[in-house]
């Protein structure tokens, strides 16, 4: 039967319904601010969004979107290659290239399309792709479509990458190395200095997905490669507008002029409608704001450290360093679901992550902070976890 393979998922959904818990696709009934909403009947602090710079309600972004919808209409009704390239798209491409200090940029309709499109197109039959084992689903989807030879290196392990590059011999120069800036599930940062050194030694091309690190890392918010001082070693930077820029869409920037020819070969760019001009207009405004308001970066890090230290002090297993993504790793599925539900009831909405979405076999309560969270909200999140711990909801092994 065609549907047999979905039975496990159907059983899991039935289990969740029986436990009266809606962790996936919980409906947000009201958004009260960038950090508060009403979700499935609970008034909650939003502690699982990727709204790192807190810009989703910025009046300047809203005004830009409103003016654009009045000027350009609700949608382009076409692909960038046909009738869907408006002056807004072109302006954003120039601005994002300028933001990264390179000559070329492509804007995509989603971050997923940007990453998947670039990974599926850059390398082809006869080429090699070396990707981090914990890469995002959009990277895996892209490399699968590429028809290149796919090799995984151990997560954040430049020695393993070097070993595999060495084994490739002459083919190393034909290799696309893929890493992410900040990894979305555990919040750990890629060792880009060491990865860049491997590339310098063996050759190849480096693509970095800065989806979670744009805005958050680097002197001007370009991401992990800027923070590591290795931007010159990066051939392609991809990213998204749906996190720090508070809208939706994605991009690729590069110093290689070939990007202009590559553009016309990316199916995820050619065969999909371009973003609505209102989305592009708010993104342009958000890009201007993250460049001109570095205090947002400071604030997101202050909040990240506050949450990380607070959860660590409770004895929860939170990973080695603070980051705007703070994941509590659990080993028991049922307990993790109970904790997620109890957090909702305590007014805190985090992400429940279960394998294969989590990088290991563990279950995650994935928290993320925004520059828009107040210190009091961060403390309220920590208190909610303290309440769970007092109620004995964490496994004994993890509850210090």
Among 58, 132, 134, 180, binds ligand PMP (CB under 6 A): 180
Site for ligand PMP in 219-258 (CB under 6 A): 240, 242, 250
Site for ligand PMP in 324-383 (CB under 6 A): none
Task: Provide the minimum distance between the beta carbon of 4 and ligand PMP in the complex, in angstroms, as a whole number.
Answer: 29
Among 35, 110, 244, 283, binds ligand PMP (CB under 6 A): 110
320 phi and psi angles, rounded to 5 deg: -75, -30
Q: Report how far residue 89's alpha carbon sits from residue 269's, in angstroms, rounded to the nearest whole number.
A: 13
Instruction: Please choose, from the candidates 348, 365, 368, 369, the residue with its C-alpha nearest in 3D space to the C-alpha of residue 357.
Output: 365
- The count of residues interacting with ligand PMP (CB under 6 A) is 14
Task: Provide the minimum distance between the beta carbon of 236 and ligand PMP in the complex, in angstroms, as a whole number.
Answer: 13
User: 214: which DSSP letter?
Assistant: T
What angle do the packed helices 59-72 and 277-292 form, to 10 degrees? Answer: 150
SS3 234: coil
Residue with Cβ nearer ligand PMP (240 or 276): 240
Residue with Cβ nearer ligand PMP (123 or 211): 211
Q: Report how far residue 229's alpha carbon sits from residue 54's, in angstroms, rounded to the nearest whole number.
A: 26
Q: Percentages helix, strand, coil for the chain, rounded to the nearest 5?
A: 45, 20, 35
What are 302's two structure tokens?
């202050």
Site string for ligand PMP, 184-223 (x = CB under 6 A): x------------------------x-xx-----------
Q: Return the range that interacts with ligand PMP (CB under 6 A); candidates 66-74, 107-115, 150-158, 292-300.
A: 107-115
- Count Cβ atoms below 10 Å from residue 267 Cβ, excluding itself: 13
Asked if 112 is part of the footprint of ligand PMP (rule: CB under 6 A), the reply reads yes
Task: Provide the minimum distance between the beta carbon of 324 and ligand PMP in the complex, in angstroms, as a whole number.
Answer: 13
Q: Report how far residue 121's alpha carbon sits from residue 128's, in angstroms, rounded to the nearest whole number.
A: 12
Among 35, 49, 115, 275, binds ligand PMP (CB under 6 A): 115
**Which chain residues interact with ligand PMP by CB under 6 A?**
110-112, 115, 136, 138, 180, 184, 209, 211-212, 240, 242, 250
């Amino acid at each position: 039967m065609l549907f047999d393979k979905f039975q496990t998922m159907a059983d899991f959904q039935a289990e969740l319904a029986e436990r009266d818990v809606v962790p996936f696709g919980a409906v947000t009934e009201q958004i009260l601010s960038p950090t508060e909403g009403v979700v499935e009947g609970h008034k909650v602090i939003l502690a699982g969004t990727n709204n790192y710079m807190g810009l989703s309600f910025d009046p300047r972004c809203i005004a830009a979107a409103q003016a654009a919808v009045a000027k350009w209409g609700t949608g382009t009704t076409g692909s960038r290659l046909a009738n869907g390239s408006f002056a807004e798209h072109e302006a954003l491409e120039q601005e994002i290239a300028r933001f990264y200090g390179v000559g070329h940029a492509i804007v995509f309709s989603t971050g997923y399309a940007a990453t998947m499109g670039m990974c599926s197109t850059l390398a082809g039959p006869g080429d090699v792709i070396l990707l981090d084992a914990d890469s995002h689903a959009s990277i895996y989807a892209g490399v699968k479509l590429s028809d290149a030879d796919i090799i995984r290196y151990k997560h954040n392990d430049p020695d393993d990458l070097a070993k595999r590059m060495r084994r490739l011999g002459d083919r190393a120069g034909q290799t696309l190395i893929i890493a992410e800036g900040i990894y979305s599930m555990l919040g750990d940062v890629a060792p880009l200095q060491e990865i860049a050194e491997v590339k310098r030694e063996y050759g190849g091309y480096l693509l970095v997905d800065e989806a979670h690190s744009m805005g958050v890392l680097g002197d001007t918010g370009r991401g992990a490669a800027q923070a590591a001082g290795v931007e010159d070693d990066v051939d392609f930077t991809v990213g998204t507008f749906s996190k720090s820029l508070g809208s939706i869409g994605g991009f690729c920037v590069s110093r290689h002029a070939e990007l202009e020819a590559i553009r016309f070969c990316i199916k995820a760019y050619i065969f999909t409608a371009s973003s609505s001009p209102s989305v592009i207009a708010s993104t342009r405004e958000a890009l201007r704001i993250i460049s001109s308001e570095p205090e947002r970066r400071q604030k997101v890090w202050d909040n990240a450290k506050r949450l990380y230290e607070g959860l660590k002090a409770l004895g929860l297993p939170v990973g080695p360093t603070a980051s705007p993504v703070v994941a509590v790793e659990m080993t028991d599925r049922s307990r993790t679901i109970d904790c997620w539900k109890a957090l909702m009831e305590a007014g805190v909405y985090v992400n429940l992550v279960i394998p294969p979405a989590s990088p290991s076999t563990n279950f995650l309560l994935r928290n993320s902070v925004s520059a828009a969270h107040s210190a009091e909200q961060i403390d309220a999140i920590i208190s909610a976890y303290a309440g769970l711990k007092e109620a004995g909801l964490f496994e004994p092994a993890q509850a210090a």
